[in-house]
Structure 1
Amino acid sequence: MKYSKIFKSIVFAVLILAITNSYAQLPEIAGKKWEKVQALSDEFNGKKIDSKKWNIDPQGHYKLDWTGRAPGLFQKESFDIKDGCLTIEVGELPKPVTIGKSTYKYHGGILRSYKKTSVGHYYECRMKMNKTEMGGGFWLCHKGTCENKHEIDITESVGVLTDQTHKWAFDWDQIMHSNAIHRESACVKQVRDQKKMAPPTKNHERFYTYGFYWKSPTELLFYLDGEYVYTLKPPVPFDQDLVLQFSIEAYDWNPIPEKGSKVATGSKEERTTLIDYIRVYELKDR
């Protein structure tokens, strides 16, 4: 009986390990091995967010003081950890909030890494989108200089569409969409490379694992559930140190209806995005 219990425990541990690493199919590089970057990785199994790794205050650090795209306000109160997942809950604010010239009626959230990252890393996130008009995703960005403001969107989508959704976004509730953006500034006009593909189900219906290999300043490789899907070629070499981010926000091309929106009327489960884990790997010599 004693050995039977031990055997069952071992089998259970192996199964959990297999599930946990099911999509960690990292590209093989001759003479190199992948090593997890602990400061940029999190299984979200604790009772609270690791404040040494992540900042959930929209005005927190690196002077990245974006409060969100109106009418969706970023607030740290939207975050929690539950059942081994980081959660970001959207919803209607008790009353509208005005900041500068913008009025906010709803809340979302943004998480940013304290450690920066750059070329030669592999990034992976397993997540399930909420079932509302708000959305967002997994990305890297930093203010940069006037000449070089780089953004890499690993994946972005929304939960549901409405009859007010812009025509070009008809598929954004069932999509993996990635960007390599040389952002607009006083010095340059915005230029981007972008690609998309359709996963098997709506983004809010199940967990998907989104991966990105920053192979070189001119080669960005993207993966869905461990399978390669496409490559982006940045409009300029992307070699900046960027901040890893995850955000759930409002979009003007998928406007939140004034009445009957899922953001305002959905259940807590429908209004919550789940992030099972974020993992980042770097190459080391064998």
Structure 2
Amino acid sequence: MKCIRIYKLIMISFLMVWSTISIAQKKKNRAIKEKTNTINSYPFSDPKNEGNWILNKEISDEFEGTEIDTTKWFVEGQNGDYYIWKGRAPSQFAPHNVIVEDGVLKLRTQWEPDYPFAQESYADGSNNDTYGVFEGEPLPITTAGVVGKKRFLNGYMEVKSKQGNAAITGAFWAIGYEQELDVYELMGNPKIDGSIKANSYLATAHDWSPPAVRPTKVFNHVENLPFRTADDFHVYGAEWGKDFLKLFIDGKMVHHFTQDQVGTDWVLNNPMEIWLDSEIFKWLGLPHKEELPVDFEIDYMRVWQKPTSNLLAPAFYGFEGPILFEENPRSLKMVPEDSEPNDYQKFWSIDEASAQYLRIVHGDYNSGVNS
């Protein structure tokens, strides 16, 4: 009888453990299913989809699985390759800081004294800082960055994200030919009172047309927020049209730029690629060793676009170029102001025979105030 009682107790204990595991697994599966279903959702600012948005699944990412999808993203520093730059010195992008877990992309910033920093400096305007060093003293901080492999022209781009609680930025931005749009630059815990606060938002557009002399900023918007950006996740979006830009935070429009208002400084005319990264802005203070590591967390990044009945329209964007060949890899040193034709981008050209009679003396955009 004693053996039977022991057996029953063992069976009851087993059933209780199994039941607990089963319930936990069901909850996890339900959460995964609910998150997966959101891939067909609409912009947070347009939950009823009155704008008739269609999700661009080739660009969007829910960050499921255990690693970054390298068919969609270029990871800065992976296999020793860097696109355009190695990060904003004194910090450097490190590929192992790109982490996907629990359905979230985490771009980590950490203190790594043993990291083999590049023995070079990064020229940033009047600054010429060295990676891993600040004012002659070691500052071994690594960060992370990823770049979308496909560009898009106009649409609604959105992330749900939370900043790391340190003097390190989290940035959601995009570049295209001669242009840059910083949908946001946020900082969880700046050490110096400046252009970005723990509870503020900065959006900026830059003109990189040659000679691309700094300052390149053409318009920006600062928004004071009723929350700290490092305390919780919030939804940030931008609707980019051919002659306007609307900025959204948690579904509410906070600013609206138009081409007519901006005038000849309107530069958002060509397809752009998404960037997500973290950087040190030393003019806002340096992150302290004690507050690292921290993660810039992105729950999702989505891009919606609208259908068009004019099938010829995409073929005519950027009359001055570039015409993109995305099946070919980008040159890793190709910055936005580059106008040299290569396997990735081509420009309108005149053959040698025709050049006796024709030449382009001035280029302009097919859209914008001068079109």
Q: TM-score range by the shorter chain?
A: 0.7 to 0.9
Query: Does 2:147 match 1:127?
Result: no
Q: Check the 8 A contact 2:43/2:156 in 1, yes or no.
A: no
1:215-254 alignment, distance < 5 Å:
215-216=241-242, 218-233=243-258, 235-254=265-284
Deviation at 1:282, TM superposition (A): 0.8
Aligned equivalent of 1:93: 112
In structure 1, distance between residues paired with 2:292 and 2:282:
23
Counterpart for residue 150 of structure 1: 179
Q: Which runs of 5+ in 2 are unaligned?
A: 1-22, 122-129, 133-139, 310-371
For residues 187 and 106 of structure 1, the distance between their equivalents in structure 2, rounded to whole angstroms, comes to: 29
* Aligned equivalents of 1:134, 1:44: Cα separation in 2: 22
Q: Is the 8 A contact 1:153 1:179 kept in 2?
A: yes
CA–CA distance in 2 between the matches of 1:239 and 1:118? 8
Q: 1:140, CA displacement in angstroms? A: 0.4
Task: Map Cα deviations across residues 53-72 of structure 1 (whole Å, 9 max, x no partner).
Answer: 01112489x98321011111
Alignment match, 2:84: 65
- 2:299 maps to 276
Partner of 1:160: 189
**Aligned partners of 1:70, 1:240: CA distance in 2, in Å?**
29
CA distances 1:145-185 after superposition (whole Å, capped 9, x unpaired): xxxx21101111111122xx1x433x521112111111374
What is the Cα deviation at residue 19 of structure 1?
9.8
CA distance in 2, matches of 1:80, 1:29: 32
Distance 1:43 1:172, change over 3 A: same
Normalised to the residue count of structure 1, the TM-score between the two structures is 0.79
Report deviation, 1:285. Answer: 5.3
Residues 208/155 of structure 1: CA separation in 2 closer, same or farther (3 Å cut): same
* Contact 2:42–2:49 under 8 Å retained in 1: no
How much has 1:28 moved relative to structure 2? 8.1
**Residue 115 of structure 1 pairs with residue 143 of structure 2:** no
Amino acid at match of 2:160: R
Question: Structure 1 residue 239: deviation in Å?
Answer: 1.1
Which whole-Å CA distance do the structure 2 matches of 1:140 and 1:132 have between them? 23
Larger radius of gyration: 2
How much does 1:244 deviate? 0.6
1:157-196 superposed matches below 5 A:
157-162=186-191, 165=192, 167-169=193-195, 171-183=196-208, 185-186=210-211, 190-196=216-222
Q: Could you tell me how far apart the structure 2 residues matched to 1:22 and 1:33 are?
A: 9
Q: Cα deviations across residues 118-140 of structure 1 (Å, max 9, x unaligned)?
A: 22x10010000001111131000
- Distance, in Å, in 1 between the alignment partners of 2:93 and 2:36 is 35
- Alignment partner of 2:141: what SS? strand
* Alpha-carbon separation, structure 2, partners of 1:18 and 1:55: 23
Query: Per the alignment, do residues 255 and 99 of structure 1 end up closer, same or farther by CA in structure 2, a change over 3 Å counting?
Result: farther
User: Counting helix residues as a fraction of each chain, which structure ranks higher?
Assistant: 2
Please state whether the residue corresponding to 1:48 is helix, strand or coil. coil
Residue identity in the other structure for 1:117: F
C-alpha distance in 2 between matches for 1:71 and 1:130? 18
Three-state SS of the structure 2 residue aligned to 1:40 is coil
Q: Tell which has more relative contact order, 1 or 2 (C-alpha 8 A, sep 6+).
A: 1
The AA in structure 2 aligned to 1:202 is R
What is the aligned residue count?
A: 257
- Residue 116 of structure 1: how far off its partner (Å): 0.6
Amino acid across the alignment from 2:231 = E
Question: Does 1:34 find its partner at 2:57?
Answer: no
> In 1, Cα distance between the equivalents of 2:212 and 2:165?
39
Q: What displacement does 1:98 show?
A: 4.0
- Which residue does the alignment assign to 1:50? 69
Identical columns (%): 21
Unaligned runs of 5+ in 1: none
The answer for the alignment partner of 1:74 in structure 2 is 93
* Contact persistence 2:76–2:146 (CA under 8 A): yes
